[in-house]
Structure 1
Amino acid sequence: MFTLVILSLGCLHGLYLSYELIRKNTANDANRMLALCIQCFVALLFFILLDESGAFYYVPYLIGFQEPVTFLLAPCFYYYVRRLTSPAYLPFVRTHLLPFFIAVLCATPFYLLDAQSKWQFLYGDMYAPDLPVWYLSWYENGFIFGAMIQVAIYLVLSWRRLSTYQIVSENNFSSLELINLNWLKRLLLMLGSLYGLWFLDEAIEVNAMACIDHGSGIGCHYDWLIGERVFFFSELGVVIVFYLMSYYGLRQPEIFTQSNQYLELEKSETNKYVNSALSETLAAELCRLIEHQVQDEKLFLNPDLTLHDLACASGHSRHHVSQAINQSKNISFFDFINQLRVTHAQAQLLAHPNRSVLDVSLDSGFNSRSAFYGAFKRYTGVTPGEYRKQHKQLAEKLS
């Protein structure tokens, strides 16, 4: 009963999380890819739920359809990492789906079995008679091994991508880049932990089979090891990861609500506005006017301010506003706004020494304390607490 409740909660929460990812920004293909990854996890949990509850007895034709889905998880996650760490648009390379299609092709003989044969193969004492020898000899045994190798490869590739991204960008992080990097590190750690739990579950199963078949396993005298298990660590881990993702999404909404404007901005910067009709002189003048407007109207205090909002407020196109800021100040829109927010926060920290750092960060236009700390230290070289302490010591010396 415990397992069924946990699996049901995991499926429902995973569906809700993937729905929110797509609903919050339908134009963000990175979110769609993460939602697809979550839906793959949900599909695996759902099939496990059918197995644990005995529901396969009523829908035996569904048996086995979940296995190839395992080969979709890692490519979807890797693309999500690449999409958030690359300024250019990255189409999904279809060769990443090759292991999935190979798995589907190899499993076709099992899919073509009638419902009764599938049921006997899974729960009966005899193998289904119509399966080819190669399927019974190596596919069933090699499937898990191949899936684990594929996931390990993509986890390593994702880790290398994040390491390279951090090295290349460590001196030029915008607030959004810093949030993305920290989020992807946490997500990679969570999926790496899931991989470890999956490996542990498979090792326990192999050991249990060795105990049952040959009596040569480890701890064969423990009934809980060779008997039916109440739950698998990896199943429980997936459910926990779903809730952790929701927690981080609530704590830092920028993770899931960011649009592709940042990516479009970086892409346009690489082209250096070759086809733009805005000259450097006009760009500098427009930047000056925009800066005055943002400061006079305190637009930077709006935590949801976007390039599109600023363009509408200034009466100019988004492309021209982006070009004016980038060419005149040699920074992105996000850096431009965050610098103004940090400057405002500096004044607030000194003017109100008893106010908490969290209150100052929210009043300065930041969505979270962690985003504020990252931006503040980047532009000032110290944390907000250290900044207050330094000025307090300086004031004491002068007095």
Structure 2
Amino acid sequence: MLLVCLLPDTYLLAGERLYGATYKITLQEDAKFSEDSLQLYKDRAIFAAKNNDLKNAAFYAEEYIKYSAETGFVESRYFAKFSDTAEFKELKEKYDLNVNWLHFFYLFSALIGFFIGIMLLINKSKDKKATVLISVFVLIHSLFIFHIFLHSTNLKFRTPHILYMSSIFSYLYGPLLYFYFKRITQKYTFKKRDIVHLLPTFIIMVIMFPLFLLSKEEKLHIMFEVGSFDRMPYLYGIVSTKILSLLIYGALVVYLFFKNNQHKSYTSEAKKWLTTLVTLSSIYVLSYAIYGMVLAEIIPNISFLFNLQIVVMATMVLYIGYASFRSPNLFAGNFNSNNDKYVKSGLTESYSLELKDALLQLFEKDKIYLQNKVSLDQVSELLGTTRHNTSQVINEHFGLNFFEFINKYRIADAAAILEKEQNRNIIDVAYEVGFNNKVTFNKSFKKFLLQTPSQYLNSLRT
């Protein structure tokens, strides 16, 4: 083989030309390449590089990569002099590890989404069905974003079994969001006939199942477009029907939103949550339609248009994560019922927001919670309103009762103190931030930080 590399092309393969099309066709028609065939591609790429033949060095390097799956070959020292050429830059972009700031954003969004989705699933909730719907919605979006991350960075070549892994969830986005809205706005009770909404997902699972059973080598052949399978089977059918599904369910969600948005028992926080979620999902439907037109070559394949739907999806996942942290009551089954007792309240929305700002001033700037005998009456007097209005403002805007609201601030202070002064006595810290006894402090600490003060200190020291 070494001799072959050193001889002129007229002596190779019994007279066939080194860069001729005849040998290329012969190799491509062969279903299984021998090691000699692969080695020949490799040797030809190296031979061309040594002879400063950029065009054929790039061509045979790519052929070798496709059939051997050795993506690192493009970074071989033989091609160092070609590293700044357009041909080899293109090869590196196609096959070598390729990471930029946008890819890190995808990875960050996916990991946050997985965390939020799992936390929503395991947390206790009065309306578990609504919580499961929104958590699964977040998880499948996160899986899709993670899939895009692997694909865009070329890590897919190192993890071939991720091939098509997110495709089976293509028709779940719409139904999950639709039934979540239906559940939280109408307290909808699920019926057996609702299973028909899962029929498209079942069909695509049946269609794609044989592809999931392929071996690692067969999946790599598909990725490199050298196998007998189409690299993107049923592409236009899946994309077009997914767009149709998103449009139908998107219209149903918008209908539910406008039908129920004026419900008087909704909190301002809940209305904001619904409005933002509907807006983001509508933008996502539009961006996916644009993505579909890019794939169908109806509009030019511009990087911005391709990535738009992923950015929108990631933004939606991050917003849900933020909302679940900021207002956990939105996911806890208290969407409507929490504020039924305030339906007849005379507190207007503008006055409620005014009281909220004044309340935050008392707690975040004046730190009134540090007084261990602070009461609802005292806070109400400082706000210049009734205890009923104060209670309503805390409940509507923060999803907590008065004592939970106070203790949340106290625990945040306690955690900060323990982090800075890890040798402090725990009970001393409890008294310093406003608690009257250790039992209440420990209970509140575990409620808000999911661990005891001692466990928190141990985690800081490890």
Q: What's the TM-score once normalised by structure 2's chain length?
A: 0.50
Indicate conservation of the 8 Å contact 2:106/2:149, yes or no: yes
2:104 & 2:397 partners in 1: Cα distance? 35
Could you tell me which amino acid in structure 1 is paired with residue 211 of structure 2? F
- Structure 1 residue 15 displacement after superposition: 1.5
Which aligned runs of 4 or more in structure 1 are off by greater than 6 angstroms?
228-231, 368-372
Partner in structure 2 of residue 233 of structure 1? 308
Could you tell me which amino acid in structure 2 is paired with residue 160 of structure 1? Y
Aligned pairs (5 A) from 1:11-22: 11-22=110-121
1:19 & 1:130 partners in 2: Cα distance? 36
Could you tell me which amino acid in structure 2 is paired with residue 116 of structure 1? E
Return the match for 1:203 from 286, 289, 293. Answer: 293
- Structure 1 residue 80 displacement after superposition: 0.2
Aligned pairs (5 A) from 1:96-175: 96-124=197-225, 126=226, 128-129=227-228, 136=233, 139-166=234-261, 170=262, 173-175=264-266
- Greater length-normalized contact order (CA 8 Å, ≥ 6 residues apart): 1
Indicate conservation of the 8 Å contact 2:160/2:216, yes or no: yes
Percent identity between the two aligned chains: 16
Per-residue CA distance 1:78-104 (angstroms, 9 max, x = gap):
110110111353347211111111111
- Structure 1 residue 144 displacement after superposition: 0.6
2:169 & 2:220 partners in 1: Cα distance? 20
1:25 & 1:42 partners in 2: Cα distance? 22
Return the match for 2:195 from 94, 101, 105. Answer: 94
Could you tell me which amino acid in structure 1 is paired with residue 255 of structure 2? R
- Structure 1 residue 7 displacement after superposition: 1.3
Per-residue CA distance 1:351-383 (angstroms, 9 max, x = gap):
x9xx948664983442378699xxxxxxxxxxx
1:112 & 1:23 partners in 2: Cα distance? 31
Per-residue CA distance 1:324-375 (angstroms, 9 max, x = gap):
xxxxxxxxxx3334656849x98xx9xx9xx948664983442378699xxx
Could you tell me which amino acid in structure 1 is paired with residue 329 of structure 2? E
Partner in structure 2 of residue 188 of structure 1? 278
C-alpha change, 1:181 and 1:64, in structure 2 (3 Å) is same
Indicate conservation of the 8 Å contact 1:4/1:53, yes or no: yes
Could you tell me which amino acid in structure 2 is paired with residue 335 of structure 1? D
- Structure 1 residue 195 displacement after superposition: 1.6
2:329 & 2:335 partners in 1: Cα distance? 12
- Structure 1 residue 238 displacement after superposition: 1.7
2:308 & 2:174 partners in 1: Cα distance? 19
Could you tell me which amino acid in structure 1 is paired with residue 310 of structure 2? E
1:246 & 1:341 partners in 2: Cα distance? 33
Partner in structure 2 of residue 60 of structure 1? 160
1:90 & 1:364 partners in 2: Cα distance? 34
C-alpha change, 1:261 and 1:175, in structure 2 (3 Å) is closer
Indicate conservation of the 8 Å contact 2:291/2:305, yes or no: no
Q: Quick check: 1:44 aligned with 2:144? A: yes
1:65 & 1:243 partners in 2: Cα distance? 22
Indicate conservation of the 8 Å contact 2:157/2:220, yes or no: yes
Partner in structure 1 of residue 440 of structure 2? none
- Structure 1 residue 26 displacement after superposition: 3.6
1:194 & 1:112 partners in 2: Cα distance? 32
Give the superposed CA RMSD: 3.7
Gaps of 5+ in 2: 1-99, 362-382, 400-462
Aligned residue pair count: 270
1:338 & 1:164 partners in 2: Cα distance? 18
Aligned pairs (5 A) from 1:278-293: none
C-alpha change, 1:87 and 1:143, in structure 2 (3 Å) is closer
Aligned pairs (5 A) from 1:208-227: 225=301
Indicate conservation of the 8 Å contact 1:252/1:368, yes or no: no
Partner in structure 2 of residue 375 of structure 1? none
Q: What's the TM-score once normalised by structure 1's chain length?
A: 0.58
- Structure 1 residue 260 displacement after superposition: 8.0
Partner in structure 1 of residue 390 of structure 2? 363
1:233 & 1:65 partners in 2: Cα distance? 21
C-alpha change, 1:21 and 1:91, in structure 2 (3 Å) is farther
| Structure of greater Rg | 2
Gaps of 5+ in 1: 211-216, 219-224, 263-305, 307-333, 373-399
Partner in structure 2 of residue 77 of structure 1? 177
- Structure 1 residue 185 displacement after superposition: 2.6
Partner in structure 2 of residue 321 of structure 1? none
Indicate conservation of the 8 Å contact 1:33/1:77, yes or no: yes
Q: Quick check: 1:244 aligned with 2:319? A: yes
- Structure 1 residue 118 displacement after superposition: 2.0
2:274 & 2:171 partners in 1: Cα distance? 21
1:31 & 1:23 partners in 2: Cα distance? 10
